[in-house]
Amino acid sequence: MRELTYTQALSEALSEEMARDETVFLIGEDIGAFGGGFGITKGFVERFGERRVRQTPVSESAIIGTAVGAAMTGLRPVAEIMYVDFITTAMDQVVNQAAKLRYMSGGQVTMPLVIRTQGGGGTAEAAQHSQSLEAWFVHVPGLKVVMPATPYDAKGLLKTAIRDDHPVMFLEHKLLYAETQTVPEGEWLIPFGEADIKREGDDVTVVATSLMVHKTMEAVESLSGEISVEVIDPRTLVPLDIEAILKSVEKTGRLLVVQEACIRAGMGAEIVREVVEKAFDYLDAPPKVLGSLNIPMPYTPPLEKVVTPQKEDIIEAVREMVG
C-alpha cells in the first residue's frame, strides 16, 4: 500500500467526498487558487469549480455563519478556519447556532457541518497562533470533537465527519502535516468513539491526544525494558471511548493523560474525572495530567519547549507514577 502525508490524507478525503456527494462543498480563506494556508485544497477549484470551493473574505464569523445556513438547507459544508485561535471571532456561530439548532428545532433541522482547523505549538508563532482549544468545544453540548494524530486516522475520520448529520469540530495539528503513514485506498471510514490502542502494556496507562501521541510513543520506546506502558489515542473526544480507557486502567492500575493544551480545566481533567467516578477501585496511584503550563505560549522556541510537554517530561511522569 502507498504512504501519504497527513496533508495528502486530508486532501484525498475531501476530494473523494466531494466527488461522491455533490452537496459537499468547501468554504474558507485562501482555499481557491492558493490551495489553503497549508496546501490541502490545492487544485480543488480547478476540479470542482468556484461554486463548490468558496473562497471568502477574512471573516471567520462570515465563514461559519454561511456554513451554518448552508447546512440548514441540506448542503454539507466543510468550513476551514486557518488557525483555531481565530475561532474566537465566530464563537456565537459555533456555540449558539451550529451546536444548538438541531435540538432547538426539535430535529426539524439537521446540521451536517464540519469545521476544519489546526492548532498547537512548535512553530514559534507565539500566543495568538499556537493554542490548543479542544476543551472549549468538548464543553459545548451538540458538538462532536475529533483530533486525529495520524494520516490514517485523518482520512478515515474526516470522511466520517463529512457524512455525519451533526456539527463536527475537526482539530488538526500543524506539526503533523508532514507525518507519513500507510493509508489504504478505496472506500473506508473510521467510526467515531473508538479509541486506538497504540501499544499494549501492563504497568501504566497513558492516554495521549494529537501530537502528544507521537511524543508519548517516543518516550515509551525509551522506557522499553524498564516500564510496560499502554498507550491509548482516543481519536475522538466527543464521543469519547471511555470504556477502552477503563479497561486499560483496570489492567494497569495507573493513569497518565498527556495533552498539549494548558493543564487547567482541560480534556485530561475530564478523563480523570470519568475514571475516578467509574473505576476508582482499580487505581493503585493517583491519576495525573501532564499538559502545558497555564501561561500564554511564548514566541521563542526554547521557551515554547519549556511550556509544552516534551518526551523527557513524559518519561519522568511515567517513572514517578510507577516508582
129 is catalytic: yes
Cell matching residue 291 = 499538559
**Positions of E strands within the chain:** 3-5, 24-28, 53-55, 76-81, 114-119, 144-146, 168-173, 180-182, 196-199, 204-208, 229-233, 236-238, 255-262, 288-292
**Positions of E strands within 46-110:** 53-55, 76-81
As a dihedral over the C-alpha atoms of residue 19, residue 20, residue 21, residue 25, rounded to 10 degrees, the angle is -30
Of 129, 166, 173, 214, the catalytic one is 129
Q: Note if the bond before 239 is cis, omega within 30 degrees.
A: yes
B/e letters for 267-282, b = 16+ CB within 10 Å, e = fewer, are bbbbbbeebeeebeeb
Q: How far is Cα 181 from Cα 154, in angstroms, rounded to an integer?
A: 11
Q: How far is Cα 322 from Cα 27, in angstroms, rounded to an integer?
A: 48
CB contact set of 215 (below 8 Å; sequence gap of 6+):
208, 258, 309, 310, 311, 314
Q: Which residue has the cell 482555499?
A: 31
Q: How far is Cα 208 from Cα 222, in angstroms, rounded to an integer?
A: 17
Residue closest to 229 by CA, chosen among 215, 212, 217, 241: 217
Q: How far is Cα 239 from Cα 259, in angstroms, rounded to an integer?
A: 17
Distance of CA 27 to the CA centre of its chain: 20
The length of the chain in residues reads 323
Cell matching residue 5 = 502525508
Active site residues: 129
